[in-house]
Structures are given as structure tokens and as C-alpha cells.
Amino acid sequence: MKLWDKGMKTDEKIDRFTVGNDRELDLFLAAYDVKASMAHCRMLHSIGLLNEEENRALLAELESIGKSVEKGEFTIEDSFEDMHSKIEFLLIDRLGDTGKKIHTARSRNDQVLVAIQLYIKDELQIIDEQINELFDLLLELAGTYQNVLLPGYTHLQVAMPSSFGLWFSAYAESLVDDMILVNAAYNVADQNPLGSAAGYGSSFPIDRAMTTGELGFKTLKYNVIAAQMGRGKVEKVTATALAGVGATLAKLAMDICLYMSQNFNFVSFPDDLTTGSSIMPHKKNPDVFELIRAKCNVIQALPNELSMLLTNLPSGYHRDLQLTKNSLIPAIQELKACLDITAFTLRKIKVRKDILDNPKYDLLFTVDALNELVKNGVPFRDAYRQIAEEVESGSFKTPKEARHTHLGSIGNLCLEEIRQKMDKYRVKDS
């Protein structure tokens, strides 16, 4: 069954190509199509296009379909093009002519728009919770290890002292930036497109404000062409938010892979979180973090992928837009999995506390030694040259109080201030 079927027969090869994997992806969206259909049904009843009996019957059947979706029993067979055609078939099969009335004053275009935007809203709220969970864990780890010094590197060269507290809280605050983007994407998706039909509205006296309230949208997309133009744009904005989170997770995963290597040996994990080699008995590999890095790097490519898909499309609907689901839905599921496994593994991280005992880190404190000279009245550039000469000659010695002094200078991690920033930018459900 196809919603656009006028009795014409489509070649089976064309059908397979145009449908693609919509049936599989639509299982993620079916619950939202049911929800939007129920809101649409109530609105049609309120303006007199459905009588009370028809309204009750449609709502009852839609609720039944919704429960089958929730239980995982809803399927989209090959005889149906997508979730819309399957749901409408069920309504017609069970209710006859009453079922045929559900599509009054709407198009498959605004049906999929509203389903996708409801789906994005829900998924971004889940991602918000996951980000916040990881954020809380990172702040907890920052507090626990704030006095454990860690070598800082620039250009992969020994640079200046840092601390595990600073490192963990850096990623926490980076997640605040990501949350700003997630919140922005949520707000873009939080505009009701239902009632825009095929992008040019309806001549029926529909009540779009009513469906906006019914579906929990903050506002509606007033201009019906703008609503249709939102297809692809909403997905791209969401992809940008996903990519931001992905960038943070990928960098964290890379740090961990580096720090777990024998050349660094800054952190480790229990054996049950690592993998082995088929030939080298000693190996304990960070496969999980390598996969987080890879998956999140792929997610970072998503905005560009969608940009290419949307390039030069004029206003109005085009079948190209169907492919946005192919990219976005799997990326959302992948990011959720990466957030979950990152939090799971970090809870068991083991931090080395004697890293700076290694002589190769003696030069970490050259800046502290330089600063001591400046405090004692030596001009900065002269102090810089003096310390450089000591380093070159091999006579540089770390000042006795350097570690304590430097730890004090980086000891104030501003954890409460960072937490307040996160609270400010979290997604707020309308």
C-alpha cells in the first residue's frame, strides 16, 4: 500500500530503490507518527471534520497501534512503503471509511516532519541526560584526583605540570559547550510543522495551535513553506550538536589511548575492560576507546554529509530528503552508545600517582623557576634566557617548592562554577 497510490503499478525494481531502508528506520519513528495522528484526529474533531463516534474509534485504534509499537510488535511488511501507509492501512482495515478520513488536511510530508522532530526532541533529551551523567562523573573524578600531578604536553613534547583534576574537569567543561549546541538543536526542533501539509498549507480551517499544544511543542512553524524547508535543516542542526559531543568524546578517547600506552603509563583499567592479542600474550588493548574515537569521528563528518545532501535543493519537498534519516538516526544511536560506554568505563579508571618521579619530567618546572626569578626582580626576558642556559648545560634543578607551588596555582578547579554553567544550558522540556 502507498498513500499516493492512484491505481498505477510501480515497477518492483523502482519500488525497492525508492523505498530503500525506510521500513527499518521508520520503526524508530512509528510511535511519533501515531502520537501526531492522535493529535491530528482530535483537531479534526474539534473543527467538525470528524464526529464524536469517528473520533473515539480512530483514537482507540491509534492507541492500540501505539501499544503494539511500544511492545515491539509493530512491523512494516514489504507490501507497505513506510510507517504511514502501514498505520493508515490498519485504520482502514479495522474502521472502514472512518479510517480513510485520518489523512484529511495533511500530507505525508508534514507527517514525517512532525514524527522526525518529535523523535529528535526525545532523543536529544536522552542525550542531555547522558551528557549530564558523564559530566557529573568527570567532576567527581576531578575532585578526587585534583592533587595528583600530570605532565602537560604541547606538540607532544613535555610542557608544564597539569593535574588529573584539571584534565577531568576540562572535559566536563567542554561538555558544557556541547550542551549549548544540543539545547540549540532542541529549540530548532521544538516548532510544530503539522498542518503545513505538502508545504503549502490546507484550505480546511485547521487549528495548528491546538496540535502544537497537544504534541508539546513550544511554538509552531507559522509559515508553511518554512515548515517544509525545515526538513533537512533540523537534521543538520541536530547533526552539528551530535558532532560537538562526538568531538569531545573522540579527544577524550584519544587521550586515554595515549595515556594507557607503556610509553606514558598514566592510567589503566581493569582487565575486563580491555582486550588481548591473538599472538602477543602481554597485550591489554584499549579497543573500546579506539572504537569510541572511530565512531565519534564518523559522527563528526555527519554535518558535512547532510550539507552535501541538501546543497542546491530549492524550496519544497524533494525525495533527496528521505536520505536524511539514513544518516541521522544511526548517528543518534551510535552517540548514545558511546556516551553510555564512556561513563561505564571511566568509573573504573585507575590513575597513577607517582608519574612525576620520572627524571624526564624534571623540566616541567622551568616556567615555575623562571617565575621565581621574576618575582625576585629579574626582568622576564633575562630570566627566560638564564633558565634556558641552565637547561642547555644540564645544570637546571627543579626548585624544592615548585611542585607544591604549581599545584596550588592549578588547585582551584572552579567545579561549582562549571556545574552552574551546565545547569544553565541543559535542555529544558517545554
d(CA 117, CA 192): 8
Specify the pairing of strand 191-192 against strand 219-220.
parallel
How many CB atoms lie under 10 A from the CB of residue 278?
6
Task: Please list, residue by residue across 43-76, b when 16 or more beta carbons sit within 10 angstroms of its beta carbon and e when fewer do.
Answer: bbbeeebbeeebbebbbebbeebbeebeeeebeb
At how many degrees (to 10) do helices 224-260 and 108-144 cross? Answer: 30
- Tell me what pLDDT residue 295 has: 97
419: which 3 cell numbers?
556545574
How far apart (Å, rounded) are the C-alpha atoms in residues 406 and 386?
A: 20
Q: Report how far residue 275's alpha carbon sits from residue 340's, in angstroms, rounded to the nearest whole number.
A: 19
> What is the residue type of 274?
T
What is d(CA 32, CA 122) in angstroms, rounded to the nearest whole number? 10
Q: How far is CA 282 from CA 248, 254, 275, in A?
A: 30, 22, 11
| Domains by residue range for the chain, with CATH | 12-100 (1.10.275.10), 116-142+166-202+221-352+421-425 (1.20.200.10), 359-399 (no CATH)
Q: What is the pLDDT of residue 14?
A: 63
Per-residue pLDDT in tens (0 to 9) along the chain, 430 residues:
555 454 556 656 666 665 667 788 999 999 999 999 999 999 999 999 999 999 999 999 999 999 999 999 999 998 888 899 999 999 999 999 999 999 999 999 999 999 999 999 999 999 999 999 999 999 999 999 999 999 999 999 999 999 999 999 999 999 999 999 999 999 999 999 999 999 999 999 999 999 999 999 999 999 999 999 999 999 999 999 999 999 999 999 999 999 999 999 999 999 888 777 667 777 788 899 999 999 999 999 999 999 999 999 999 899 889 899 999 999 999 999 999 999 999 999 999 999 998 988 989 999 989 998 999 999 999 999 999 999 999 999 887 777 777 777 777 889 999 999 999 999 975 4
Identify the burial level of 93 via C-beta atoms within 10 angstroms of its C-beta, where 0-12 means exposed, 13-18 middle and 19 or more buried: exposed
Q: What is the pLDDT of residue 277?
A: 64
pTM for the model stands at 0.92
pLDDT at position 4:
42
For residue 206 the three cell numbers come to: 485547521
Residue labelled with grid coordinates 474539534: 46
Q: Are 134 and 245 in contact (CB under 8 A)?
A: no
Provide CB contacts within 8 A for 330, sequence distance 6+: none
Q: DSSP code of 267? A: E
